[in-house]
Amino acid sequence: THSDETWIVMLIINIRLSFVRCICVLKCISIEILPGSSKGSATSSLISLTTPVTLVPGKNKIDLLSATVGLTNYGAFFDLVGAGITGPVKLTGPKGTLDLSSADWTYQIGLRGEDLHLYNPSEASPEWVSDNSYPTNNPLTWYKSKFTTPAGDDPVAIDFTGMGKGEAWVNGQSIGRYWPTNIAPQSGCVNSCNYRGPYSASKCQKKCGQPSQILYHVPRSFLQPGSNDIVLFEQFGGDPSKISFTTKQTESVCAHVSEDHPDQIDSWISPQQKLQRSGPALRLECPKEGQVISSIKFASFGTPSGTCGSYSHGECSSSQALAVAQEACVGVSSCSVPVSAKNFGDPCRGVTKSLVVEAACS
């Protein structure tokens, strides 16, 4: 299925409180009322939820909606990592506690909206309600609207600010899940970034305390001239009136290559041929056909720092870098610049140096 949801249902009698543990995003639904929900994180996926429920005399039904977003697929014993509701599930009332972990449960994978193909605009469904007003901040809600294809040929993105978590379809094609309420940790970001060496998840963190992502790419091949359909399935609750479309223009092309990078791939054409060691090279190419590199915004050979659009010179920097980059790249659609002290001079002996170039295309 498109979704990660699993419904787990049980009928109970005369019990008032619920306690749940789960490795997932969990919602507890009882008598058509949502009494509580909780979610884990990348560093702590195991969660517990204790929430009061209001029941009626006689039979009651409790629904638990478990949504698992991604599964561990590497590392030692990853197959033993739990997912979904791992238990125990207990109901606690004034006269004691009832453990339902081993009781009979029924479950349903996926959503009814999927079975009805609500995401497909070519299949009409009586489930849709057209009205000037619509529910907002309501969990487990489907939304449908139309939008006009943005002019031009620049990349298109949807800004999902205001939404919680869900999935989006454009003209029946899924663009994937959105989750703007997934907030990055408040600390751990660094000003300079170096991915070299052993990998760890804490390397090169940025935008601490901000949504991990709000812009989601819509391939122009998904769009049609004029009107388009967009369908959303919102899990947590949000306000689709805050969604907007934007186009992104490539203002700069950048590259960062160090002396200790591997040789150019052209040197490894055939194992039968003798390897011609040409050394690493920095390559730039304008993204659109007909464009050429019009100027070099920044160039440094030495110990530069920063990211594309905000590079800065380090304590060690060659005075020839800008001139060399301009000569090799300005006026052409793509260029290659060898990364070596022979090409730029050696501003600091005994130090591994890098070449950084930021260019503008027009």
Q: What is the spatial distance between Cα 249 and Cα 286, in angstroms, rounded to a whole number?
A: 12
Alpha-carbon distance 218 to 222, whole Å? 7
> Which of 247, 271, 299 is the endpoint of a domain?
247
Domain identity same for 42 and 131: no
Phi, psi dihedrals of residue 358, rounded to the nearest 5°:
-120, 125
Q: How do residues 241-271 score in pLDDT, each as one tens digit?
A: 999 999 987 778 999 999 988 877 665 655 5
Number of domains in the chain: 3
Residue 255 has a pLDDT of 95
pLDDT in tens, 114-162: 889 999 988 888 888 888 888 899 888 999 999 999 998 889 999 999 9
Tell me which residues of the chain have a pLDDT lower than 70: 1-45, 69-71, 265-277
CA–CA–CA angle 165, 170, 172 (5° rounding): 105
Residues 214 and 299 reside in one and the same domain: no
- Are residues 156 and 50 part of one domain? no
**Are residues 279 and 234 part of one domain?**
no
Are residues 33 and 117 located together in one domain of the fold? no
Nearest to 107 by CA among 89, 80, 125: 89
pLDDT at 66: 78
353: domain CATH number is 2.60.120.740
Q: How far apart are CA 243 and CA 268, in angstroms?
A: 48
Contacts of residue 76, Cβ cutoff 8 Å, sequence gap at least 6 = none
Shared domain for 239 and 281, answered yes or no, is no
Side chain identity at residue 161, one-letter code: T
Are 222 and 98 part of one and the same domain?
no
Do 160 and 261 reside in the same domain of the chain?
A: no
Which CATH number does the domain housing residue 203 bear? 2.60.120.260
What pLDDT does 21 receive? 44
Domain, as residue range, for 99: 5-110
Peptide bond into 88 cis (omega under 30): yes
Domain boundary among 110, 136, 171: 110
Look at residues 95, 110, 125 and tell me which one is the last residue of a structural domain. 110
Task: Please indicate, yes or no, whether residues 39 and 125 belong to a single structural domain of this protein.
Answer: no
Residues 124 and 159 in one domain: yes
